[in-house]
A and B are shown apart, each in its own frame.
Chain A
Amino acid sequence: MAKFYEMPAVSPTMETGTIVAWRIAEGAPFAPQSVIAEVGTDKANMEAEIFDKGVMLKHLVAVGDEVPPGFPIAIIGDALGEDVSALVAQFATMSPKKAAPAPKADEALAPAAQAAPAAQAAPAAQAAPAPKVAEPAPSLDRTWRGKVLRTDVLEPHQDLRYRSASAAVPAKGGRIVASPLAKSVAAALGVNLATVTGTGPAGRIVQADVEKASGSAVRTPKVARQDEVLKLTQMRKTIAKRLLASHQDIPTFFLTVTYDMTAFVGFREQLKKHLPDVKVSHNDVFIACVARALREYPKANAAWGEGVITRFGRVDIGVAVAIEDGLITPVLRNADQLRFDEIGAQIRELAGRARSQKLKPEEFTGSTFTISNLGMYDIEQFTAIINPPEAAILAVGSIAEVPVAKDGNVTSGWRMKVTMTCDHRVIDGATGAAFLQVLRRYVEAPMLLLM
C-alpha cells in the first residue's frame, strides 16, 4: 500500500533537512536498508535509510528543498502502479511551515523531535518543550533574518538553575532509566529506584540521586586511610593459638585487690636515694614481692597437667614484655633468690633482647607464674589471659594517688589494683584470695623482703 516516507531525523540536533540528492529514482524498487536520499543537515550530509523493501512511487520534494523531520518527502509502496492520488492530495494541504505531522513512536525518542522549535519549522507554541515565559521584550522583533524567533527566552532575573529533568521529561512507560553506578549504589543501600527522581540527562537516575533518596549522605565514607591486610607473623600465629587455647580451655575467675602502696613507694624512694647508681623500678620491687609470696604460698605457683597438678619447687616468673607487633614473656629464673638490682638488670637485658627478637627459646618458656604490668600506661585495672600450663597470672595496674577514707575522713593515699586470673581447676577462690593476702604483706610492707 502506498504511504508517505518522511524526512528522518538523521542527526539528533537537526531542525530541518535539505534533500541533497535522490538515490532511488521514481519507479525504482529498493531493497531493505537502502539509502533513499542524501540529506543535508546542520552537521553534515547524511544518508536517509529505509528499513523495508519497496518501490519509489513519487518524490514529493525537490532537490534543495528544506523540510523538518517528520515531513513527507516521498510516497513509497509495495508495487509499481499503486494509487498515489489520495496521498498527493493530502500532501498538497501540508506545508513545512505548519506543524509537521506527529513523529512516529520510534522517532519520538530522537531529541530532534522534542527540540525542533525554530528555523522555518513550527511556531514555538506548538513544538517547544520548555516552560513558557511571559512576553518577549516589546522592542525585540520576533523574526530575524527570515527566522521566526522563539518567544520563550528567559528574563535575566529568572532562576536558571537546574532543578530536575523529571519536570521536563515525563517518565516513559514505567521503565526506570538509571546509570549502572546508580543501580549498584541502590542495591547496596536498599533504595527502590522507582521512588527516585532522576537528575541526569533526560531524567536518568545517577548516583547522587540515589544517595539523596536514601536520606543520608552516604557518599563513599571518608576514612583516615585504607584498610591494611597483614600477613600473620610467626609470633602473631603463636599468640593467637596459645591465647585462644587458654581462653577456651581454662575455666577462669578473677580476683581484684587494692593494695596500699604508701610504704612501697616510700621504700623505692629510699632505694633510689641511697643507691642512685642502681636502677630499681616499681615493677622490679613488685616482682620481688610476688616471688617471695609464691615461695611462701606454693599453691599459686602451680600448673594443670595431664591428670595431675604440679606445684613448682622453683619460682620462675614470666614477665610480659611488649615488643613490636606482639608480646613475649621472658623468664626470670629463681626470681625469689634475686636482689632488686639483679631483677631489674635481668629484666632489662631480657626485654632488650626480646625487642630485637634475639631470645633463645629456653629464655621465654618454662615459667611457673606470669606477671603482666600495664601500670606504666596508666591502666588502673585489667584482666590477663593465663599463660598455660600455669595456674594464674597477675594483671598489675598503675600506682595512683587516690582519695582514701580513713577513720571517717577522706585523705589521699597511694593505691594499686591487682587482678589475678586463676585456673579454677588448680586454684579455688579461697586459695587465690589467700595468695593475694600473702602478697599484700610484702607489697604493703616491703621491708619484709629483707628478712
Chain B
Amino acid sequence: MPEHFDVLVIGAGPGGYPAAIRAAQLGLKTACIEREKPGGVCLNWGCIPSKALLKTAELAMSLRHADDLGLTVGPIEIDYPKVIGRSRKVAEKFEKGVRGLFKKYGVTLLEGTATITAPGKVAVQSSTGKVEYLAKHVIIATGARARTFPGMVPDGERVLTYREAIVRTEKPASVTVLGAGAIGLEFAYFWNAMGVDVTVLEGADEIVPVEDREIGAALRRELGKQGIKITIGKKVASCKRDGDKAVTTLEDGTVFTSDLALIAVGIAANVEGLGLEALGVVLERGRIKIDTSHRTNVPGIYAIGDVCGSGPALAHVATRQAHICVERIAGQHVPDLDYSAVPGCTYCQPSVASVGATEEALKKAGTPYKVGKFPFIANGKAVGAGHPEGFVKVLIDPKYGAILGAHVIGAEAAEMIADFVMARSAEVTAEHFIHTIHAHPTNGEAMMEAVAQALGVSVHL
C-alpha cells in the first residue's frame, strides 16, 4: 500500500515550500517533492544569491565615489570568483534553512521528479527508483525557467540565462543583456559595477516595461550615467554563440558582439513532464489555469506560483498563493489575493519599486486620478546619504482618496514600498496616509510628501 498524504506539493520553491510548511502547521500530513534544491530558483539561483552580488556591486559603486564622502580609498580590485563564491554560500545557507524547516514542521521531503499518474496519485522518480504516493490534494508548484524567443540560442557558455550567469566564476569583459526587466537590469548593474562593458537591449519602448513610464525613463537616465549602454524599442532577431563570442543581431541589422549574452526576456512555466496532458489539466497561455482557490479544472489538483496562470511571476506572490491554497484546503476562510496590492521591485541602484496601477494604465482605463510627486533631492535623509536621485510618484483617486498606484525610484525603493502596499491592502486613504507620521529623517518621508503633493498640502516642495 503506497503511503498516503493529505497534501503533496510538487516543487520546493517560494510557492511550494511555504505551502508544505503551512499544510503541516495546520495538521495536514504533508510531503514536498523537489527534483533539484529546496528553495527553488528564488533561493538558489534567483532573488537571494543575486542580492548578494548586488551588495558587492553597490559597495563597489560607493567606493568609487568614496572621495565625495571624505574617504581615500585606493583602486578597487575585484576578486570575481570570490564575489560569486559568497553569493553561492548565501544560497546554500538558505537551501539548508528550508530543509531545517521541513524537519521542524514534519514535512517529508521527497527528492526526485514527480509525475501525477492519476488524480490523487503521484509517482516520484529518484536515483533509487520509482515510488508511488497517494494524496488527497496535489499542489503543483514547479515554477518557471527563462524563456527564449526564436533566434535566441542559449548554449550555457556564451549565450546564458540567469541560471548559468549567476554561478559563472569567470568575469566577462563585455556582456549584452537581452531584456530590461528586473532580472536583466540587476545583472546589468552588477556587471557594470564589476567593470564589465554592458549593453542592454529592450524591445519595448522603455526599460522596466511593467513600471510607470516616467520611472523607466528616470532609471534609464541614471543607469546611462553609470555607463550602461541601453537601446530601447529595437527587437532582437538573433542571439547565438560564434566561437568564443556571443553575437546578437537586431532586426534592423545592428550587431553586438560580446564575451557573453544574457537572455532575460521573460519566463516559461515548468508544465512539462507532470502528466498534465493525460489528466486533462487546462493550460492558459502556457500556464496552468486556476480559480481563486488555486484549483485546476481537475478536482484535487491545484497550482500556485509561476506555473499557475494568475498574477505576476514573483516569489512573494507564490508564497501568498501557497497560504491561500493550503488554508482553504484546511477549511479556513481567507480572502482572495488582491493582485492590485502586489509590490514589484528591481534591485539595481537606484532601485525601483511599485504597487498598483501605472499612470498609463489609469489613462487607458479612463480612471480619474490625481498625481503627487516628491523628489529625493528635497529629502534630507536621501541627500545626506549621498543618494538624491529618484522620486516618489503616487496616483490618487480624486473621489474617495484611494491610493491607486505608487511608484518609487531611489536608493531604498524596495524597502519603502511596503508602506504603500500596506496602504493599498488595508484600503488606507490618502488622507489617512498623510496623517501617518513618518519618522524624520527617513527616505520614507518622501512617500508622505508625495501623497501630500497629490492632495495639495505638501510643505516641503
Contacts and interface: CB of A to CB of B under 8 A. Distances in A.
A343 B331 CA distance: 87
Interface residues of B, number: 48
Contacts of B369: 226
Contact of B106 (A144, A156, A180): A144
Interface string B124-168: 000000000010110000000000000000000000000000000
A124 B291 contact: no
B222 interface: no
Given A156-B299, A207-B402, A148 B293 contact: no
Given A149-B6, A155-B136, A223-B366, A167 B333 contact: yes
B6 A153 contact: yes
Contacts of B7: 153
B27 A124 contact: yes
Interface in A167-219: 167-169, 179-182, 184-185, 188, 199-201, 206-207
Contacts of B137: 153, 156
Dominant secondary structure at the B interface: loop
A201 B25 contact: no
B399 A220 contact: yes
Contacts of A225: 366
B368 interface: yes
B292 interface: yes
A250 B29 CA distance: 89
Chain A CB count within 10 A is highest, among B28, B119, B332, B367, for B332
Contacts of A201: 334-335
B333 A163 contact: yes
Interface in A95-143: 115, 117-119, 124, 128-133, 137, 139-141
A338 B399 CA distance: 59
B333 A152 contact: no
B76 interface: no
A165 interface: yes
Interface string B306-338: 000000000000000000000011111111100
Dominant secondary structure at the A interface: loop
Contacts of B235: none
B216 interface: no
A161 B106 contact: no
A72 to B, nearest CB: 24
Nearest to B293: A160
B397 interface: yes
A272 interface: no
Given A179-B426, A179-B428, A150 B335 contact: no
Contacts of B366: 222-225
A113 to B, nearest CB: 15
A118 B335 contact: no
Interface string A235-255: 000000000000000000000
A162 to B, nearest CB: 6
A145 interface: yes
B400 A222 contact: no
Nearest to A179: B427
A271 interface: no
B300 interface: yes
Contact of B330 (A130, A188, A206): A130
Nearest to B330: A153
A124 B399 CA distance: 47
B400 A153 contact: no
Contacts of B336: 162
Given A118-B25, A161-B291, A220-B368, A185 B136 contact: no
A262 B120 CA distance: 88
Contacts of A145: 106
A42 B25 CA distance: 10
A137 B335 contact: no
A15 interface: yes
Contacts of B52: none
Given A165-B333, A199-B335, A188 B399 contact: yes
A118 B330 CA distance: 12
Nearest to A131: B331
Nearest to A117: B27
A243 B106 CA distance: 84
A160 B328 contact: yes
Given A147-B27, A162-B328, A165-B333, A181 B136 contact: no
Contacts, number: 139
A199 B27 CA distance: 26
A424 B105 CA distance: 95
Interface in B1-24: 1, 4, 6-7
B119 A156 contact: yes
B458 interface: no
Contacts of A154: 328-331
B350 interface: no
Contacts of A169: 333
A423 B335 CA distance: 70
B429 A181 contact: yes
Given A147-B106, A180-B432, A222-B367, A130 B332 contact: yes
A162 B292 contact: yes
Contact of B329 (A137, A153, A180, A181): A153
B291 A139 contact: no
Nearest to B333: A168
A157 interface: yes
A13 interface: yes
B365 interface: yes
A184 B429 contact: yes
Interface string B97-108: 000000011100
A305 to B, nearest CB: 49
Nearest to A161: B293
Contacts of A199: 335
Nearest to A148: B27
Nearest to A144: B29
Given A144-B106, A225-B366, A180 B6 contact: no
Contacts of B426: 179-180
Contacts of B25: 13, 15, 42, 118
Nearest to A147: B106
B289 interface: no
Nearest to A181: B427
B427 A139 contact: no
Contacts of A226: 368-369
A410 B306 CA distance: 75
A164 to B, nearest CB: 8
A139 B4 contact: yes
A142 B300 CA distance: 19
Contacts of A164: 333
A137 B136 contact: yes
Contacts of A160: 293, 295, 328-329
Contacts of A130: 330-333
A180 B329 CA distance: 31
Contacts of A115: 332
Contacts of B431: 180, 184
A163 to B, nearest CB: 7
Contact of B400 (A131, A155, A185): A185
B330 A181 contact: no
Contacts of A131: 331
Interface of A: 13, 15, 42, 115, 117-119, 124, 128-133, 137, 139-141, 144-145, 147-150, 152-157, 160-165, 167-169, 179-182, 184-185, 188, 199-201, 206-207, 220, 222-227
22 contacts: A115-B332, A117-B26, A133-B331, A139-B134, A140-B29, A149-B28, A153-B7, A153-B136, A154-B331, A160-B293, A161-B293, A162-B293, A162-B333, A180-B429, A181-B402, A181-B428, A188-B399, A220-B368, A220-B397, A220-B399, A223-B366, A223-B368
Interface of B: 1, 4, 6-7, 25-29, 104-106, 119-120, 134, 136-137, 291-293, 295, 299-300, 328-336, 365-369, 397, 399-402, 426-429, 431-432
Given A161-B291, A161-B293, A179-B428, 6 more contacts: A130-B333, A140-B4, A162-B292, A162-B334, A185-B400, A199-B335
